[in-house]
């Protein structure tokens, strides 16, 4: 169904594009068609294969930010114990912001994932939405709400917790649900939402990666029985290869992006998406 070579390519592709704001699902729909592979987005075996690559990506994100997650969990525990969020408890505030942001994406995902994937499953529509994703990235940069300059030595988590409101977190989580449409990037939507809420590119990227971890992980864990059930027959070897390549690519991608956004913006990714999306739509249509 999927050769080891195809699994390696698709795994590496997923690991990079899940974190780069260019849509992993959109590229997973489009590129097999461009390569001439008989792999389609709604094939049951392909969806089962993606479960393994998504789980690998979520594990990498959790391990990459492991110490941060431990602080966040302890902060959530303190707030539950004290029944309040202390004004100076950044970890607790950040934890509940992540919870607030996960709610809309989780609810919308459960209700609309299958209908949206079926409706926009063609390579042509995925290419068009990749181009639209590029426009959204450029628009977020242009309309970004700049945070006031404050002379402080606060770290990224402190800035995020201070800047974001509960409504901001909920809105960013709702924007994340747009990634159910092949071609719209999950990380792009959350980074763009962070910019509109006043975060810097660096802080928006960090919040995006933290927010992606529970969403991607929970979605993969819920579907992992498919991989070990009858749908995984003849696929598990390729799934392991794909997961390993996805994990390696995701680790390199998050390291690169955290450094990249210290001084750069979403603009290059927006331009790429517009050019790639329009070009691919033309090729697929003809």
Would you kindly state where each structural domain of the chain is located, as residue ranges? 4-285
Tell me what pLDDT residue 108 has.
Answer: 79
Report the Cα 119 to chain-centroid distance in Å: 21
- Summarised one tens digit per residue, pLDDT across range 4-29 is 999 999 999 999 999 999 998 889 88
Helices (H), 4-155: 4-17, 24-35, 44-64, 66-82, 90-119, 123-143
Residue with tokens 């070009």: 279
CB 105 within 8 A of CB 176: yes
Q: Which residues are CB-contacts of 209 (< 8 A; sequence separation ≥ 6)?
A: 19, 61, 64, 65, 187, 254, 257, 258
Backbone angles phi and psi of 184, in degrees to 5: -95, 130
Greatest alpha-carbon pair distance for the chain in Å reads 63
- Summarised one tens digit per residue, pLDDT across range 150-200 is 445 568 899 999 999 999 999 999 888 888 888 999 999 999 999 999 999
Residue with tokens 């969403």: 215
Tell me what pLDDT residue 151 has.
Answer: 43
pLDDT tens string for the chain (286 positions)?
789 999 999 999 999 999 999 998 889 889 888 888 887 766 777 878 888 898 999 999 999 999 999 999 999 999 999 999 998 899 999 999 999 999 988 887 777 766 766 666 688 999 999 999 999 999 999 988 775 554 455 688 999 999 999 999 999 998 888 888 889 999 999 999 999 999 999 999 999 999 999 888 887 787 777 777 776 677 888 889 999 999 999 999 999 999 999 999 999 999 999 999 999 999 988 7
Is 0.95 surpassed by the pTM of this model? no
């Amino acid at each position: 169904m999927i050769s080891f070579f195809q699994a390696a390519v698709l795994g590496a592709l997923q690991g990079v594009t899940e974190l780069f704001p260019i849509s992993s699902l959109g590229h997973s729909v489009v590129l097999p068609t461009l390569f001439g592979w008989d792999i389609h987005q709604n094939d049951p075996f392909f969806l089962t294969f993606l479960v393994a690559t998504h789980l690998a990506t979520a594990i990498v994100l959790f391990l990459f930010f492991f110490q941060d997650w431990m602080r966040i969990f302890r902060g959530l525990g303190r707030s539950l114990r004290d029944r309040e969020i202390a004004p100076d408890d950044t970890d607790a505030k950040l934890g509940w912001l992540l919870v607030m942001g996960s709610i809309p994406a989780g609810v919308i995902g459960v209700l609309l994932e299958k209908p949206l994937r079926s409706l926009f499953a063609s390579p042509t529509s995925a290419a068009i939405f990749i181009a639209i994703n590029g426009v959204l990235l450029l628009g977020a940069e242009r309309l970004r709400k700049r945070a006031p300059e404050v002379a402080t030595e606060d770290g990224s988590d402190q800035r995020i917790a201070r800047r974001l409101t509960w409504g901001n977190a909920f809105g960013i989580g709702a924007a994340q649900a747009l990634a159910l449409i092949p071609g719209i990037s999950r990380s792009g939507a959350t980074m763009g939402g962070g910019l509109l809420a006043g975060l810097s590119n660096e802080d928006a990227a960090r919040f995006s990666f933290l927010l992606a971890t529970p969403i991607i992980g929970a979605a993969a864990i819920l579907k992992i029985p498919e991989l070990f059930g009858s749908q995984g027959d003849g696929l598990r070897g390729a799934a392991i290869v794909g997961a390993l390549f996805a994990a390696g690519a995701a680790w390199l991608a998050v390291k690169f992006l955290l450094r990249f956004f210290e001084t750069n913006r979403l603009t290059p990714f927006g331009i790429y998406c517009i050019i790639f999306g329009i070009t691919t739509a033309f090729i697929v249509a003809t």
